[in-house]
A and B are shown apart, each in its own frame.
Chain A
Amino acid sequence: MATPDLTGYRDKLKCSFPELDNVFTDCMENAVARLSQRGRDDYLAGASLICGIGRGFEPVLVYLEDMPEVAEKLGEGMLSLVSETVWTLSRTPNGNAIPAFLDTIAEAARRLGSQELLCRYVDMMLDMMDRTTGSIHGFHTTLSSPGLPVLLNQMPYLLSQLSLDGVNHWIDYGIDAYPDHPQRQQDYFSLQTADSRAILQRQRHGTLFIDRERSLNLYLTAMWSDKCRFIPYSLGFDDVRKPLPYFDDFGVRVPDVYDDRAGIAGLNRYRALIAHMAAHRRWTTAIFADNYSPAQRLAIEIIEDCRVEFLAMGDYPGLGHLWRALHPKPIEGDCDADSQSCIRHRLAMLSCAILDQDHPYLDPDICQFAERFYAMMEHQTTSEDAASLAVSYIAKTRIQSDQSADVFFTHTEIDYRDDNRHLWKFIELGDEEESFDEADSPPEENEDETPRLPPRHYPEWDYGIKAYRPDWVSLYENLHPAGDGGKIDALLDNNKVLAKRLKQILDRLKPQYYVRQRYQEEGSELDLDIAIRSLIDYRSGVTPDPRINMSHRHDGRDIAVSLLLDLSQSLGQKPDGCDHTLLEISQEAVALLAWAIDRLGDSLAIAGFSSNTRHEVRFQHIMGYGEKWDEPVKARLAAIEPGYSTRMGAALRHAGHSLAARPTDKKLLLVLTDGEPSDIDVADNRLLIEDARKAVQELDRDGIYTYCINLDAHADDYVANIFGGRFTVIDRVERLPEKLAKLFMSLTK
């Protein structure tokens, strides 16, 4: 191809950096080769625009170098899109992000692969910038976005891990969580914080271990009659040294996510891995490592892997398909034995040859040892047999270059096998025995006097990003301290008249376990009275009543009720025109309800909740399902005190968690509250309302009927939003005791 005349182009590029002349020819030749005439004009116009923003030569250079390739791949519309975006950026306080932005374009184009997606990517960046760029007076934006440059630096990694949608969610989350906190925002976008990583993890593509944990546990139990704890580790953050799966006494370490590979779905890759490890657990016994050289150990591990897989395939031939598909296929002759260490290559070929009888290898040693392996497997074998075969293989094939530091790794990593640390035991344990850690002092006594349960973590729904914030809320459950139970008895005495009325209703509600149904045409037994009457009718020529049978039916109540009390600060108020605080009225109402439910024989749990930021949601146990309505329970109820805020979602989830485990037919969760969900660490009230609404939906899904009794006369706005139609707003608070008990009965009639 003739060298095109570039002088005309240089004139079109309005840019006078002296460095430009050194690179222009190369860049332009590249552009001419890749772009149409129109594209070249756009290219030069774009470069001129970037030159004019006054950010030095570097942005221009990046644009000139990268854009022809991007435009060729995704279309020439990209040329003006990128230059105009850079121009837009330069009109904001975020000029410092321009080089980083340009740097990401080439990578983003490669990863995203379509014009449409790249446009969305650019829009996403601009949107992120708009939402995080601050202003002091609320009029002109003056503060640069703290997160944008760090985000752009992370972008290649993010795109390698997530789809564009995933990145978008992750960014949205960061903006919503840290809008007013520049330092935290930077930490988030540079992947320094735990929640940042956790959200990233949720958005990963591929099969997430946590989604499949139960399935894999079932797999291990069903096919291997084995039990162990799985501990996932992350592949995402350790670039230098990729961790490998392994197992020890504490559990089985598995990657947290598997993409589909070689036509094998992520779940089946997990199964392949777990089957391999389960086979080791069944058939491998540890052998002493001290007497073997590193090369011998490597070979022993490979042969032992093959041995347990061979045994496993005897039971489950189908596993062979999985393993063969996942096993790398080293190509004979790839490794140059004169300059590189080929030991891994040779062993991977041997392993491949053993696993797949139709292997393509011609090397006589490999063929011979594969045959010897099969011959060995015709008898009972142990790990020692595998070791002796491996040692003789190494003795036969050893060459000088095996010692070389330049090890040939291509196609030798078998990712469904563990690192075999369980295979080795050591005669000399090393120097660690003389450890200094074993100090003479006894372990520190825990001085905490009250036994506490460890916190439970619950997710919280973020309506903004339409996703759960994983493990967002820490909930502490403890036994409520006891007070004077006599107080409750006194309250009940005050309500004697009401109690009497309730008792009449209760007696009608009380289950008659076995009820006779008369006048049935089809029934289990002849109802003689009716039958004789019919017979008489028949004999006397009147049409007899054919309904002469009777049957029986069960009439039992099988209900578990959980009553959740909002113990937030507002409960201490006295409503207008009332002598008692809301707290006292609630105590009275709860006491009456508990008494009524106890009479009915339904199982009841009572708990109070309050919250002090997401790190401390208190869930106070007042009465458990197994407990009777007696002195200790009354004493706990008497001692309840208002305090802190109302984070309802987590409390609902926790109450639902124990209620869902009840074996009853009907499950009812009553929430007694006096205000909308709120907490001091949440500025946007709608967030907690939406979270509570989501929690109610989750409970619904688990077959739990949720009902809210609200003491806030203005509750209609939000309570319908959370509970749908299932709520009552009590306007005259002093009638709560009566209302609550009656409400319960009508709900469960």
Chain B
Amino acid sequence: MTGDIDQYRIDSEPFYQPVGDEIALYQAAYSERLPMMIKGPTGSGKSRFIEHMAWRLKRPLITVACNEDMTASDLVGRYLLDADGTRWLDGPLTVAARFGAICYLDEIVEARQDTTVVIHPLTDHRRTLPIDKKGELIAAHEDFQLVISYNPGYQSLIKDLKQSTKQRFTSLLFDYADAGMEAGIVATETGCDVELAKKLVKVAGTARNLKGHGLDEGISTRLLVYAARLIDQNIDPIAACRMAMVEPITDDGDIRDTLHHAIDAVFG
């Protein structure tokens, strides 16, 4: 995992449409190297925002998609065997701490709580990472910052962060942009015309109203982008919406019917 840190650098500007003053807030947090927690529903631009900020701050970005089977050694590093015996391999967190990257743990709650405890020493005044297997204590590079993202919407009781973890972060709350701005985002992202984007946003709005009535999440901005791309491939808008925006989010016949009808009503 060591190797070339430059591969994690972002060269061209990722498109990000600020909704409020989140860029300024993030910059302030970064200049103090405060750990950051980004909350919000899926597809609301969390990962895109971090990419954008990494580009803006000119720091490498190391992203880890967390999952339930992830162990502490997946973050910190592990011994591997080779011809001469065992060899140590740094995990992504260790690499970021050594070289001063932004380490982004995506969907942190998917990892088990005992795994996430390894980030604690990095996220308080110590800013160190002890590697007990190797007997090494790494002091984090001065540019290092830890960012986690987390979707409070669909998690169960079990999948929550420990208070001791939560209280190490500053936090920004993301939500879907308001209708006009979201249409603008979809239009810029895909190059489709604004009228079409507005209709897509309208359909998304109907699904977001159903959150909690059988839908765990509304239709995300990402799915709107997918739908617009399909339409760009000369797919009929109604078929594209069904494919990109209805079928992925529900298996419930009644909800599917309702959303199909909403699409028919919006596209006339």
Contacts and interface: CB of A to CB of B under 8 A. Distances in A.
Interface of A: 214-215, 217-219, 221-223, 225, 267-268, 271, 275, 315-321, 524-526, 528, 531, 535, 548, 551-552, 663
A223 B206 contact: yes
A222 B268 contact: no
B4 interface: no
Interface in B198-234: 202, 206-207, 209-210, 213-214
20 contacts: A215-B257, A218-B214, A218-B254, A219-B261, A222-B207, A222-B259, A223-B262, A267-B257, A275-B265, A315-B202, A317-B265, A317-B267, A318-B267, A524-B71, A525-B73, A526-B78, A535-B81, A535-B85, A548-B81, A552-B71
Given A315-B202, A526-B79, A535-B85, A218 B258 contact: yes
Given A222-B206, A222-B207, A320-B268, A268 B261 contact: yes
A524 B265 contact: no
Nearest to B258: A218
Contacts of A218: 210, 213-214, 254-255, 258
Contact of A524 (B74, B207, B214): B74
Contacts of B266: 315-318
Interface in B71-99: 71, 73-74, 78-81, 85-86
B246 to A, nearest CB: 11
A215 B258 contact: yes
A547 B213 CA distance: 48
B261 A271 contact: yes
- Main secondary structure, interface of A, reads helix
A525 B207 contact: no
B209 A524 contact: no
A663 B157 CA distance: 11
A672 to B, nearest CB: 32
A262 to B, nearest CB: 17
B254 A321 contact: no
Given A218-B258, A315-B202, A316-B266, 13 more contacts: A218-B210, A218-B214, A218-B254, A221-B209, A222-B259, A222-B262, A223-B258, A318-B266, A524-B69, A526-B78, A531-B86, A548-B81, A663-B156
A470 B79 CA distance: 67
Interface of B: 69, 71, 73-74, 78-81, 85-86, 156, 202, 206-207, 209-210, 213-214, 254-255, 257-259, 261-262, 264-268
B79 A215 contact: no
Contacts of A275: 265
A268 B262 CA distance: 11
Contacts of B86: 526, 531
B86 to A, nearest CB: 8
B210 A221 contact: yes
A225 B265 CA distance: 15
Contacts of A320: 268
A222 B81 contact: no
B81 to A, nearest CB: 7
The list of the 9 closest CB pairs from A to B, nearest first, reads A317-B268, A318-B265, A316-B265, A222-B206, A215-B254, A218-B258, A318-B268, A318-B264, A524-B71
Contacts of B206: 222-223
A639 B241 CA distance: 60
A512 to B, nearest CB: 15
A524 B259 CA distance: 42
B255 A223 contact: no
B199 to A, nearest CB: 9
Contacts of B202: 315
A526 B88 CA distance: 12
Contacts of A531: 81, 86
Report which residue of B210, B214, B254, B265 has the largest number of chain A beta carbons within 10 angstroms of its beta carbon.
B265
Contacts of A223: 206, 209, 258, 261-262, 265
Contacts of B209: 221-223, 225
Contact of B71 (A214, A317, A525): A525
A320 B265 CA distance: 8
Nearest to B268: A317
Contacts of A271: 261
Contacts of B74: 524
A321 B207 CA distance: 22
Given A222-B262, A223-B265, A318-B266, A214 B254 contact: yes
